[in-house]
């Protein structure tokens, strides 16, 4: 349960103002089909985070617990610093022109999530926690928790979010979690 809750909270906060949340806003404004958008987000996130989790779990098997904790701690602290950098769409998928909302969301989300901080967080957390299912479920639920308001409220919601404060909170959370892992590594 600890793995699930840490993954859920970490990703939900890190996702605020992230490019994939901005993508949800764009898709919601364009298509106005929140349930279909969320279904696409769910499937894309399960696939993307599932692969990242498998890679993290595989990588975690080769490290001794002390080095694993240190690597995860430093990764999480790095993600904390990364969370301070605001995201934008960079024009990469802002103009979705396919009429199939689910397929558009699925493909756009899967691609947008490649190399994203939440994907790296999933990889690091999967290396740290032995329950891969709890990690992927937690990160996926965190993505849905952060993207549901965007999918339902579209652009009207974007202007009301205190994104700077949310990014700062996410950053602090990542640094604290990273610090706990480093502390645990140094205590071994």
User: Per-residue pLDDT tens for 135-185?
Assistant: 999 999 999 999 999 898 875 665 565 667 766 776 787 788 778 878 988
The yes-or-no verdict on residue 94 having pLDDT over 50 is: no
pLDDT on residue 166:
65
Q: How far is CA 1 from CA 42, 45, 73, in A?
A: 21, 20, 20
Average pLDDT on 44-58 reads 94
Average pLDDT on 76-85 reads 71
Residue 92 is given by DSSP the state S
Confidence of residue 69 (pLDDT cuts 50, 70, 90): confident
> Are residues 80 and 178 in contact, defined by beta-carbon separation less than 8 angstroms?
yes
The yes-or-no verdict on residue 11 having pLDDT over 70 is: yes
The yes-or-no verdict on residue 63 having pLDDT over 90 is: no
> Are residues 43 and 106 in contact, defined by beta-carbon separation less than 8 angstroms?
yes
Q: Buried (b) or exposed (e) across 45-56, using 16+ Cβ within 10 A? A: bbebbbbbbeeb
pLDDT on residue 90:
44
CB proximity list for 188: less than 8 A, separation 6 or greater: 65, 66, 69
Domain that holds residue 39: 2-186
Establish how many alpha carbons lie within 13 A of residue 57's alpha carbon, considering only the half-sphere containing its beta carbon: 14
The more confidently predicted of residues 24 and 88 is 24
Give, to the nearest 10 degrees, the angle between helix 132-158 and helix 117-128: 160
CB proximity list for 119: less than 8 A, separation 6 or greater: 48, 49, 52, 113
How many structural domains are present in the chain? 1
Average pLDDT on 62-79 reads 74
Q: List, for residues 103-140, the tens digit of each pLDDT value.
A: 989 988 888 888 788 888 898 899 889 899 999 999 99
Confidence of residue 97 (pLDDT cuts 50, 70, 90): very low
Average pLDDT on 17-33 reads 80
The more confidently predicted of residues 89 and 149 is 149
Average pLDDT on 75-92 reads 63
The more confidently predicted of residues 55 and 25 is 55
pLDDT on residue 167:
67
Residue 117 is given by DSSP the state H
> Are residues 15 and 140 in contact, defined by beta-carbon separation less than 8 angstroms?
no
């Amino acid at each position: 349960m600890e793995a699930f809750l840490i993954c859920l909270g970490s990703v939900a906060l890190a996702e605020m103002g992230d490019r994939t949340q901005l993508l949800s806003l764009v898709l919601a404004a364009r298509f106005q089909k929140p349930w279909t958008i969320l279904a696409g987000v769910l499937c894309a996130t399960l696939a993307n985070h599932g692969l990242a989790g498998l890679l993290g779990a595989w990588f975690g098997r080769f490290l001794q617990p002390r080095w694993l904790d240190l690597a995860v701690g430093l990764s999480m602290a790095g993600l904390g610093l990364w969370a301070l950098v605001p995201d934008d769409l960079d024009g990469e998928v802002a103009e979705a022109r396919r009429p199939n909302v689910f397929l558009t969301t699925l493909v756009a989300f899967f691609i947008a999530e490649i190399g994203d901080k939440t994907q790296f967080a999933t990889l690091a957390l999967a290396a740290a926690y032995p329950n891969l299912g709890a990690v992927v479920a937690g990160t996926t639920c965190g993505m849905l928790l952060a993207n549901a308001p965007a999918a339902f409220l579209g652009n009207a919601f974007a202007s009301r979010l205190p994104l700077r404060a949310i990014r700062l909170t996410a950053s602090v959370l990542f640094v604290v979690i990273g610090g706990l892992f480093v502390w645990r590594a140094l205590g071994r």
